Structure 1
């Protein structure tokens, strides 16, 4: 049996390739687009795709395919948009576009191999798309962030939300049956909140999901913070880590005792240092 290569356009089935341009995003010396994609997909799907200085990369009505380098000759398809408007050069984002819904199931899931032998970042699809071979169709949106171990968890709000909402199997499995004492740190003012995940509270997975949903997880002081500063404050400044973790068989009373010990250690009931209210 002969294994025939699957080209990118075998999936996309775009007929008018003369009206399509491909943007190849790579490490720019400061930021790696694959890291940014995992934190904020809109950043690479708008600012990176539609950024320009003097040269005009797209015309209104054209289709823009966005690829970001994962490593070597492997790229990830992140979006396909039709360009709807050209903006002024004073903006960082110089075009507007609407995502083509029929391709949405492929976004963040199609890895292609392509050896680039030119320096420009935007190329007409007719020139290169038939050289792009599908190397893998992922079951879920790409991530290179496997669960690092309980002692190494330290995530921003957006990183934790991504880990939970995109159903990264390693993260879900690691958190769903674990009791824990955890720490939330406000990076803006240095204050901390010590919390616990027990069987009564739905274990660590459900406890952290509650913070992703509303920013406060039911805590009085955090509720007040969200009411006064807004949910966006939490999304910008909060960081989540695990102080101690225990398997599901450990009695809840031990977890609560350890939670109290950490509250005393951080003095987190003191409004000067923390958000704990009991």
Structure 2
């Protein structure tokens, strides 16, 4: 028998009408989950944004973030109180209500409506508890070398937070990686074989956006990472132990450039 959210987070029926529920999802640029992992305070912006319609016309917002690593899953982001409603934004504060569950309570619910800010009473009894994490979510754990597929946002969070599981794995491996630009659909093949392996090489992308690559520099004016966060994905094509010869890794890089035709004009590799 499933455990429903209403069994865990109890709100008296007479107060349900004081809440709107916000199913925060990808806004065309970024995922709220990635923004929250980068800094929990970033979730304020998702509640403060006011469209032309006054959607948050009740006192409280029950905030959920699309937990996109799993289907039909949402992560609880907290209860926000609406302090003021301006013509272009809301003023909100984070309530202490259910604060111990922020970033820890995962809920299952198939919600596909395009309207993301709706009346809480229509959904409160239908949200199912999926899991309560021991600690607030900090990003996906390292999935194994054969399953590394990251958005720039995810990679940025992993590197800046110095995630031990990812660093331990990537710093002890050389490899060949693929960067895909979701906007142009062009691809770039690179290799990592220096000190601290893939971790060091990808750290440079996080700090610069382009990793020193001439064609990628065109997308990162003055170290502005906006385009990278909206479009770049990183995939690990193959990995090797640190004892692998650098020339072997370089040769494998050339092989993948030929296979995927990533050299200019088809892709983003210049040689």
| 1:26-41 → structure 2 map (5 Å cutoff) | 36-41=31-36
How far the C-alpha of 1:65 sits from its partner, in A, is: 4.1
Q: Which residue of 2 aligns with 1:77?
A: 76
Q: What are the superposed Cα offsets for residues 215-236 of structure 1, whole Å, 9 maximum, x if unpaired?
A: 1112233224423895322222
- The answer to whether the 8 Å contact 1:84/1:95 transfers is no
| Residue of structure 1 equivalent to 2:154 | 159
Q: CA–CA distance in 2 between the matches of 1:191 and 1:112? A: 36
Separation in structure 2 between the aligned mates of residue 8 and residue 233 of structure 1, nearest angstrom = 39
Please, which of 21, 24, 30 is the counterpart of residue 23 of structure 1? 21
Does residue 203 of structure 1 match 2:201?
A: no
Structure 1 residue 55: Cα displacement:
8.1
Structure-2 change in CA distance of 1:77 and 1:265 (3 Å):
closer
Q: Contact 1:181–1:197 at 8 Å: present in 2 too?
A: yes
CA distance in 2, matches of 1:68, 1:187: 23
Matches within 5 A, 1:158-177: 158-166=153-161, 169-177=164-172
Please tell me whether residue 248 in structure 1 is matched to residue 242 in structure 2: yes
Matches of 1:261 and 1:54, distance apart in 2:
54
Gaps of 5+ in 2: 1-7, 109-116
Instruction: Report the TM-score when normalising by structure 2.
Output: 0.63
SS in 1 for 2:239: strand
Question: Number of paired residues?
Answer: 240
CA distance in 2, matches of 1:24, 1:189: 32
- What runs of 5+ residues in structure 1 fail to find an aligned partner? 1-6, 10-16, 89-93, 114-119
Larger radius of gyration: 1
Does 2:59 correspond to 1:66? Answer: no
